Amino acid sequence: SQTIHQWPATLVQPVGSPLSLECTVEGTSNPNLYWYRQAAGRGLQLLFYSVGIGQISSEVPQNLSASRPQDRQFILSSKKLLLSDSGFYLCAWSLSVGRSDYEQYFGPGTRLTVT
């Protein structure tokens, strides 16, 4: 069966510090991968998605970047955090693109607080 891991689970970082959040998927190959942010009281905002190694699409301009160094590893980074980067970050995977009826499977999330 497939599983998705995210770490760390919680993180408190000062403004201006770097960020690295990691997501890994097990039990499947060549998944589509997604990073979402969920701010307090708001819905989910898609930040990045990837259809393969080194292939990253950004959905919104922002202070964050993403990388996919391996097939089942997705990393969210920032060089300098802003207060507005605080939120709940969710990683998700789905079967490969080409169909729209594939559901996404979500990880447990990382709670990021920027102080």
Partner 1 sequence: AQSVTQLGSHVSVSEGALVLLRCNYSSSVPPYLFWYVQYPNQGLQLLLKYTSAATLVKGINGFEAEFKKSETSFHLTKPSAHMSDAAEYFCAVSPSNTGKLIFGQGTTLQVKP
Residues at the site binding partner 1, with contacts judged by CB under 8 A: 32, 34, 42-44, 46, 49, 51, 88, 90, 92, 94, 96-109, 111
- Residue (10 or 79) nearer to partner 1, CB: 10
- Residue (43 or 54) nearer to partner 1, CB: 43
Antiparallel, parallel or unpaired: β 110-114 and 10-13: parallel
Find the shortest distance in angstroms from Cβ 115 to partner 1: 19
Find the shortest distance in angstroms from Cβ 111 to partner 1: 7
| Whether 53 contacts 69, CB under 8 Å | yes
- Residue (5 or 79) nearer to partner 1, CB: 5
φ/ψ bin of 109: left (φ > 0), alpha (ψ from -120 to 50), beta (otherwise): left
Residue 60 is given by DSSP the state S
Q: Rounded to an integer, what distance in angstroms lies between the CA atom of residue 90 and that of residue 36?
A: 5
- Residue (65 or 88) nearer to partner 1, CB: 88
Find the shortest distance in angstroms from Cβ 6 to partner 1: 8
- Tallying the residues shown for the chain, one arrives at 115
> Which has the closest alpha carbon to 2: 104, 101, 110?
104
